Amino acid sequence: MDFGEFYLYKNGTLAAISEPAEQEVGLAVADSLLIENGATHAIEQHKARFTSGVAIVSPEHLEDLPSFFEQSFALIPRTGRWWPRFELHLGSESPSQLFFRLRKAPDPLGKLTVWTLPEPDPRINPSIKGPDLSLGQQLRRKAKMNGADEAIILNSEGYISEGALSSLLWWRDDVLFAPSDAVRWLPSVTRNLVLAIAKQSGFEVRLVRAKPSELIGCEVWLLSALNGIREVEHWIDLGGPLAKPKHLEAFNKRMRLFSQQI
Q: Which sequence spans correspond to the domains of the chain?
A: 5-102, 112-261
Determine the Cα–Cα distance for residues 30 and 47; give it in Å rounded to an integer: 10
In order of 58, 165, 255, the CA distances from 137 in angstroms are 25, 7, 26
* pTM strictly above 0.85: yes
pLDDT of residue 92: 64
CATH 3.40.50 assigned to domain 5-102? The reply is no
pLDDT of residue 160: 97
153-175 pLDDT per residue, tens: 999 999 999 999 999 999 999 99
Determine the Cα–Cα distance for residues 76 and 35; give it in Å rounded to an integer: 8
Say which residues have a Cβ less than 8 Å from residue 253's Cβ, sequence separation at least 6. Answer: none
Secondary structure of residue 173 in the 3-state scheme:
coil
112-261: which CATH architecture?
Alpha-Beta Barrel (3.20)
pLDDT of residue 195: 97
30 Cα distance to chain centroid:
10
DSSP β-bridge partners for residue 87: 30, 99
pLDDT of residue 88: 96
Do β-strands 112-120 and 150-154 pair in parallel, antiparallel, or remain unpaired? Answer: parallel
Query: Which residue ranges of the chain lie beneath pLDDT 50?
Result: 1
Phi, psi for 255 (deg, rounded to 5)? -60, -40
pLDDT of residue 2: 61
